[in-house]
Amino acid sequence: MEAIYIFTPKFRSTTRLQSPSGMPSTPPVPIAPLEIRDAVFTELIRLSPAAKYSTELVSGPSGLYARGLAEQHALTLGALPPTQDGRAALARALSSYVRRTFPDYAKLYGAGVIGIPGFWQERSGKLHIWKLHNYRMPILLIPYLNPNGLIQACQIRLHQLDIPAGEKKYRWLASRWDPRGTTSGTPIHFTFSPTHLPAGETVVITEGALKAETFVYHRPKARVIATSGVSCSHEQIIEAARPYNALIAFDSDHRINPVVCRQLARLVARRFAHSAEHKLATTTTVLFWEGPKGIDEAVLQNIKLQIKTIPEWYETLNNEPREEVQRFWNEIGFHP
């Protein structure tokens, strides 16, 4: 049986946090060490791979095959059961796994999965993954790997039938606002090991680990770093890409969205400043294509990809996006 809910000293804080719903929340548990997170998420994917829900997540109209992925990805990507009870059963199995594999860590909280993003525990002792909600369809689980190939955290992709109006399809698997839960942070994803890629080579920077893995599957020589969104983790991206030429491949719809364009302009300016500060001769360019939104769709449809310098990219912008980029660069005194 799972251990009962145990209050540790960190839960005696008088600080009252507010959840997004406005309700008081206890402080989050510190995130577990990387070794344990990687082991738990790896075991989760082994127990519940995307292949377990073949029709819904793999071979169906919006499944992995439809987006250009292959059978191998059905085993390297995971799945969360659609029902609350199904996810709770998986949480119990993973907690037992941690108690067997990392007994010292399990003793800290009395339940092995506490400190793993997305997991949390009721006062009764019942463990959960994600929300107290029954979905219509299983949930795709997407691991975010560090430079050494270890799983830092995971994103989830909800099925179209389960996305409330105006809400996002992709979310971090996190439990920041749940009892004994923790945050995922916003890590970046590597499709390669930097220790095996010499300085001066080129890396592609894009949005989303799933998109990155799809691109690499169709362009095996590509080395890709993915962020969870155009506005996220700029400092991490810049540091990770420091020794390399950077080829930015964010979704093509940024060219009609001034807010997103401003974020891309911000990343470009920071990258230039970082390179100048460290006296680097690396380049920063933009990958350009017409038509599909994402780079994964572009390669799947065999769309021509063009590399543009930053001034050339700027010339592709029109109206508000162009004005927003110029306004931002003027504010910070940047001139590419």
Domain that holds residue 274: 189-332
Half-sphere exposure in the Cβ direction for 122 (13 Å, CA): 12
Q: Final residue of a domain: which of 141, 172, 203? A: 172
Predicted pLDDT of residue 15: 37
Predicted pLDDT of residue 12: 33
156 and 215 share one domain: no
Judge whether residue 212 has pLDDT over 60. yes
Mean pLDDT throughout 162-167? 88
90 and 155 share one domain: yes
pLDDT in tens, 298-320: 999 999 999 999 999 999 999 99
- Find all residues with CB under 8 Å of 260, minimum gap 6, and list them: 230, 231, 250, 251, 253, 254
Q: Nearest CA to 141 among 20, 214, 3, 49?
A: 49
Predicted pLDDT of residue 67: 92
The verdict on residue 202 lying in a domain is yes
Question: What is the band of 8 on the pLDDT scale with cuts at 50, 70, 90?
Answer: very low
158 and 197 share one domain: no
DSSP string, 240-305: HTTTSEEEE---GGGGG-HHHHHHHHHHHHHHHHHHHHTT----EEEEE-SS-SSHHHHHHTT---
Instruction: Centre a 10 Å sphere on the Cβ of residue 206 and count the other Cβ atoms it contains.
Output: 26
Burial readout 248-265 (b: 16 or more C-beta within 10 A, e: otherwise): bbbbbebbebbebbbbbb
Predicted pLDDT of residue 20: 52
Q: Measure the CA–CA gap between 207 and 230, rounded to whole angstroms.
A: 7
202 and 243 share one domain: yes
302 and 163 share one domain: no
- CATH code at 205? 3.40.1360
71 and 121 share one domain: yes
207 and 305 share one domain: yes
pLDDT in tens, 251-296: 998 889 999 999 999 999 999 999 999 999 999 999 999 999 999 9
Q: Measure the CA–CA gap between 332 and 326, rounded to whole angstroms.
A: 10
Predicted pLDDT of residue 336: 86
Instruction: Centre a 10 Å sphere on the Cβ of residue 273 and count the other Cβ atoms it contains.
Output: 13
**Structure tokens that stand for 230 in this block:** 């155009």
